[in-house]
Amino acid sequence: MQTVPRITAQQAQAISNEFLSDHISDRFTADQPYFVENFWVVPVILTYPNIGSLGQVGEFR
| Residue 40 confidence (pLDDT) | 96
Q: What is this structure's pTM?
A: 0.87
The answer to whether residue 3 sits within a structural domain is no
R_g (Cα) of the chain, nearest Å:
13
The answer to whether residue 37 sits within a structural domain is yes
Q: Which domain holds residue 29?
A: 9-60
pLDDT digits (tens, 9 = 90+) for 1-17: 677 788 999 999 999 99
pLDDT digits (tens, 9 = 90+) for 18-50: 999 999 978 999 999 999 988 999 999 999 989
Number of domains in the chain: 1
The answer to whether residue 50 sits within a structural domain is yes
The answer to whether residue 45 sits within a structural domain is yes
